[in-house]
Amino acid sequence: MTRCIRFLILGGFIFGGSQDCPGQEAPETFDLSPKPVAGEAWHRDFQAKHLLGLDSLVRQEGDQPPQQVQVRTRLSTDNRMRFVDRFDAVDAGRVQRFRREILESKVSANQDHLQEGASANAIALDGGVESLRMVYTWAPAEQVYGRYYEGSEAREAWLAKMPADLPCVVLLPPGPVALNQKWTIDPLLLRSVLAPSGAPQYQTRKGTDRVLTRTLQMGVAGSLFHCIRGRVSGTVTARLVAVTEDVAQVDVTVEDVRFLADITEFSRANRLKREEEVGIDSTSGKQLLELTGTGTLLWDLNAGRMKSFRFGGRELFRTEIEVTGLGGTYSETVQLSGRLEAVFSNTPAKASKAAPPK
């Protein structure tokens, strides 16, 4: 009897102990929340490279059958945006006021028609906002940042469209996460990490190809700010895949995300002078952007800030415009697709000697 009791007690002890074994402990979680500090300043450096080829160009006049135009074109661009954020006030983990200075905004483009005797069309455009400053102040009632500008009022229309997001915060999970845990992201938030420069109004020079400038301005091989909007489909997910020396690696997957936007007003507002002179106007226009690819976010857990974000994938643009003028109507559908590579980095900047604005 004694031996049986001892066996049962021992067995119960072993069984009870097995419930607390390391394999059944709750997984370790990691806090990826931002940890801004008043007085800090950060350089934000964004670069996006597009390499697109023309898939098709179709024109249809009136009730006539569609005509496939045989043109071979390659369009490559390099978009750069550099700015500095200076934190003036922080409360409860939120930046209450910060200043943003734009150091550089430009795009270099090369269009090659890939035809014998055709010369390449290369342009370099400035965003027109270098050295301008803005101040963002958190408005609790509206849950947005109010802003005012230190610079030309003529630029305010562009500056108002520049996201106030701190780099890559939109990719973070809603709370602490464990290794290999996954969460979803609203596809519209990709604008913050793939178009942090907003929608620059490129400054043209005399002799610049206005058609190519208009193409870049509408987002094709340019800033994706205007393209990431409208009707949305597809999924964006993120997963914490590793933590090494207090740096978290988050992998982001963009799966067949589609943005369908109305560009009628843009087409009308950006007519060429020769189009206006002969009465050519757009009656309707829409643009489709498709994105598929993967990104890697490196996040400093101790400091609570982004180190870098890299994205690589494929993009497709399809633009459909109906035009009237010269006594008739016609429609034009253009599709380009190719590679997109984007890099967003974050490094310390020198503290400003100027007193923070009140």
Instruction: Assess whether pLDDT exceeds 50 at residue 11.
Output: no
Q: Is residue 49 part of a domain?
A: yes
Question: Is the CB of residue 52 less than 8 Å from the CB of residue 338?
Answer: yes
Q: What pLDDT does residue 9 have?
A: 37
Q: Which DSSP helix (H) or strand (E) runs through 159?
A: helix 156-159
SS3 content of the chain, % helix, strand, coil (to 5): 15, 50, 35
Residue 61: C-alpha distances to residues 70, 135, 325 (Å):
17, 50, 11
Q: Is residue 17 part of a domain?
A: no
Mean pLDDT of 327-353: 87
More confident residue, 133 or 183: 183
Residue 166: C-alpha distances to residues 98, 147, 295, 327 (Å):
10, 15, 17, 51
User: CB-hemisphere CA count at 13 Å for 283?
Assistant: 9
108-127 burial: b if 16+ Cβ within 10 Å, else e = ebbbbbeeeeeeebebebbb
Q: What is the mean pLDDT of the chain?
A: 84
Q: Is residue 106 part of a domain?
A: yes
Q: Is residue 285 part of a domain?
A: yes
Determine the structural domain holding residue 251 and report its residue range: 27-348
Mean pLDDT of 124-132: 79
Mean pLDDT of 249-274: 89
Share of the chain above pLDDT 70, in %: 84
Residue 52: C-alpha distances to residues 73, 110, 259, 332, 342 (Å):
8, 11, 18, 19, 14
Predicted confidence band of residue 117 (pLDDT cuts 50, 70, 90): low
Q: How far is CA 46 from the centre of its chain?
A: 10
Instruction: Assess whether pLDDT exceeds 60 at residue 5.
Output: no
Query: Which residues on neighbouring strands pair with residue 238, listed in sequence order?
Result: 183, 252
Mean pLDDT of 314-323: 93
Predicted confidence band of residue 66 (pLDDT cuts 50, 70, 90): confident
Number of domains in the chain: 1
Q: Is residue 328 part of a domain?
A: yes
Mean pLDDT of 268-294: 83
CA–CA distance, 7 with 18 (Å, rounded to integer): 16
Q: Is residue 20 part of a domain?
A: no
More confident residue, 68 or 205: 68
Q: Is residue 173 part of a domain?
A: yes
Most confident of 53-67, 69-83, 89-103, 305-319: 305-319
What global pTM score does this model have?
Answer: 0.84
Q: Is residue 355 part of a domain?
A: no
Tokens in use for 53? 């080829």
Q: What pLDDT does residue 355 have?
A: 47
